[in-house]
Amino acid sequence: MIIIAGTIDFEDEKHRNTALEQSRPLQQATRDDESGCLAYCFAADPCVSTRIQVYELWTTGQSLDDHFDHDNYHNMRKTLGGNGMVGSDTRKFRIDADDPVYGEDRIASSKFWSVEGD
């Protein structure tokens, strides 16, 4: 799996809010129409009024490459760029293990039981 995580900054809160509202249909279309998309969320940062937090989850590199060629991706870039975007910092991460945060004892842990054992 691949995680995309990052931030997008705007001139002001008004532009950020407009970008979010205009991007909602594209976020939904990406979730509904693109194979391999498990999560696609662009949301207001609760602590920085001019920032969007980005979270995406893709099953494979091919599904992410297909997204980069999709109209949803190109239209999202136009939407964000046309609303006073001043910068962004997004990163991709390949996942080698995937486990729940809480163990069977209901205690949160950083341990990856599936690869580290008990």
Question: Is residue 55 included in any domain, yes or no?
Answer: yes
What is the rounded radius of gyration, in angstroms, for the C-alpha atoms of the chain?
Answer: 16
pLDDT at 106: 94
Looking at residue 27, the DSSP 8-state letter turns out to be H
Taking only the tens place, the pLDDT of each residue in 25-75 is 999 999 999 999 999 999 999 999 999 999 999 999 999 999 999 999 999
* Residue of 93 and 96 predicted with greater confidence: 93
State the pTM of this model: 0.90
Taking only the tens place, the pLDDT of each residue in 7-21 is 999 999 999 999 999
Question: Is residue 51 included in any domain, yes or no?
Answer: yes
| Token duo for residue 11 | 């001139």
Question: Is residue 117 included in any domain, yes or no?
Answer: no
Domain count across the chain: 1
Question: Is residue 24 included in any domain, yes or no?
Answer: yes
- The CATH number of the domain holding residue 30 is 3.30.70.100
Question: Is residue 113 included in any domain, yes or no?
Answer: no
Closest CA to 103 of 93, 86, 118, 88: 118
* Parent domain of 22: 2-96
Question: Is residue 115 included in any domain, yes or no?
Answer: no
